[in-house]
Amino acid sequence: MDNAGLIVLAGVVIAGIGVIVPLLIHADKKRRRSKLEEDVERLKEELKDIQAQLDPKSPPTVPPDFAELEPKAREYIDVGGYLNADDLLRIGNVHFWKSNYDPAIHYYRVALDQAKQRDEKQLVGAAKDNIGVIYHIKGDQDEALKYHKQSLEIHKEIGYRQGEASALGNIGNVFLLNGDLDEALKYHQAALEVHKEVGSRQGEASDLGNIGLIYRARGDLDEALKYFQGVLEMEEEIGRPWSKANALGNIGLIYSEKGDLDEALKYLKEALEVHKEVGYRQGEANQLGNIGLIYQAKGDLDEALKYHKEALEIDKEVSYRLGEGQDLIAIGLIQKAKGALDSALEYHEKGLKIHEEIGFREGQATALGNIGNVFLLKGDLDEALKYMRAALKIFEAHGYMREVEQAKRNIAAIERMKNK
C-alpha cells in the first residue's frame, strides 16, 4: 500500500512538472519577444530620418549599432512581429549603402508585399524603384527597367512627383548603361524638369551629373566638364560627401581624357579619400580603378596593377559584377603592356564573359576590341579583325561615336597590314 501511495505521489509530481515546463517556456518566449520589440523600436527610431525611397546619390548616416540591431529585426519578423513597409525599406537602404545587396533586396521584397496588402501605393512604388536599382547594379538591366517603369506608372497615378523623378532618372541610368544615349538623355532631362518644379536641389544635381555622363559617353568632353563642375559647386553647397566625390571623380576622368594626367590624379585621389571617409566601398573601388588607369597612362605599370587588384578585391567582396568586369579588363590591359599576352587574353576573356552575362554592352564591346588588340600583337590578323568588327558593331548600334571612330581606324590599319 505504501508503495502504491508513493507511485501515485510520484505521478502527481511528474504531472505537475509537465504543466510547469510549458508555462516557463511560454514566459521565456514572452520575455524574449518583449526584448526584441524594445530593440526593434530603438532601430526604427535611429532610422526614422532615412528616406524609404532609395537615393543612390545620397548615402544615409548608418547608426553605429546597426550591425547589432538589424539581426534583432530579422528575428522579430521570424517570430511573427510586424514592421511597417517604410521601416523595412529604410533597413534595406542601409544594407544598400553597405553594399549588402542581397539583404537589401530581401527587405525591399518584404516591404513590397506588405505595402501591397495595405494598399500603400507610394510605398509600393518606392519598393519597386529600390528593387530596380539592385537589379541595375547586379547587371540585370531588363529586370531593372521593368521595375523602374512600374514604379513610374504608380507615382504618376498617385501624383507623387518626387517618386516620378526618381523613377525617370533610374530609367535613364539603365539606358545609359545599355548605350542608348538619346533615350538616356530624354529620361534624365525629364527627371531634371520635375526636380526643378518641386524645388529639389539634390535631385537637380544628380540629374545634371547624369547628363554630364551622357555627354562624356558621346565624346563631348568640354560640355561634360561644364556639367560636372557645376555639379561639384552644387554638391559643396548641399553638403553630400558621396555625391561630391562622384563629381570629383568625373572631373578627374575628363582631365584624363584631355591628357592632363596630373590634374586627373589630383581629383581622383581627393574623390577616393571622400569615399573612404563615408565608408562607401563600391565608390572606393571605382576610384581605385580610375587611379590605376592614370598610373598606367603615366607608364607606371606596377603601381597601376596594385590599384586595379585592390579594386577587384573590393568589387568581388561586395558582389559588384560590373566593377569586377571592368577591373579584369583593366588588369588585362596592364598585362598586355607588360608583354604577357596570354595572361592579358585570359583577363579580357573573363571580363568579356561577365559583361555578356550582365548585359553591359559598352563593356562587352570594349573587351572584344581589347581581345582583338591582343591577337594583333600575337600576329593573328584574321582573329584580330573578327573581334574588332564585333566591337564596332556594338559601338555603332549604341551610339558610342568616339569608340566607333577608333574601331574603324583600328580595322583599317589591320586591313592595310593584311594587304601588304
Write out the residue range of the structural domain in which residue 209 sits. 200-310
At 98 the three-state DSSP class reads coil
Question: Quick one: 261 and 352 in the same domain?
Answer: no
Please report, for the chain, how many H helices and E strands are present, in that order: 19, 0
Q: Residue 46: give its domain's CATH number.
A: 1.25.40.10
Say if residue 174's pLDDT is above 80: yes
Question: Quick one: 296 and 416 in the same domain?
Answer: no
Contact 410, 372 (CB under 8 A): yes
Question: Quick one: 302 and 411 in the same domain?
Answer: no
302, part of any domain: yes
Question: Quick one: 267 and 215 in the same domain?
Answer: yes
* pLDDT per residue as tens digits for the range 196-227: 999 999 999 999 999 999 999 899 999 999 99
Question: Quick one: 298 and 222 in the same domain?
Answer: yes
State residue 60's pLDDT score.
73
Supply angle C-alpha 350, 96, 232, rounded to 5: 90
189, part of any domain: no
Say if residue 260's pLDDT is above 60: yes
pTM: 0.73
How many distinct structural domains can be found in the chain? 3
Q: Could you tell me the pLDDT band of residue 11, with boundaries at 50, 70 and 90?
A: very low
Say if residue 3's pLDDT is above 60: no
* pLDDT per residue as tens digits for the range 294-327: 999 999 999 999 999 999 999 998 878 888 999 9
292, part of any domain: yes
82, part of any domain: yes
Cα–Cα distances (Å) from 305 to 330, 347, 357, 386, in that order, read 9, 13, 25, 29
Q: How many CA atoms lie within 13 A of 304 on its CB side?
A: 22
* Average pLDDT across the chain, whole number: 88
335, part of any domain: no
What average pLDDT does range 338-342 have in this prediction? 97
Say if residue 339's pLDDT is above 70: yes
Contact 240, 247 (CB under 8 A): no
Question: Quick one: 167 and 205 in the same domain?
Answer: no
Please choose, from the candidates 284, 271, 323, 308, the residue with its C-alpha nearest in 3D space to the C-alpha of residue 136.
323
244, part of any domain: yes
Question: Quick one: 47 and 145 in the same domain?
Answer: yes
Give the contacts of 84 (CB within 8 A, at least 6 positions apart): 114
Contact 162, 198 (CB under 8 A): yes
Q: CA 357 to CA 359: how far, in whole Å?
A: 6
Question: Quick one: 153 and 45 in the same domain?
Answer: yes
State residue 46's pLDDT score.
84
Report which residue type is found at 328: L
Say if residue 17's pLDDT is above 80: no
382, part of any domain: yes
* pLDDT per residue as tens digits for the range 119-146: 999 999 999 999 999 988 776 788 999 9
Rg (CA), the chain: 27
Question: Which class for 49: exposed (0-12), middle (13-18), buried (19 or more C-beta within 10 A)?
Answer: exposed
Question: Quick one: 209 and 291 in the same domain?
Answer: yes
301, part of any domain: yes
When comparing pLDDT for 194 and 1, which is higher?
Answer: 194
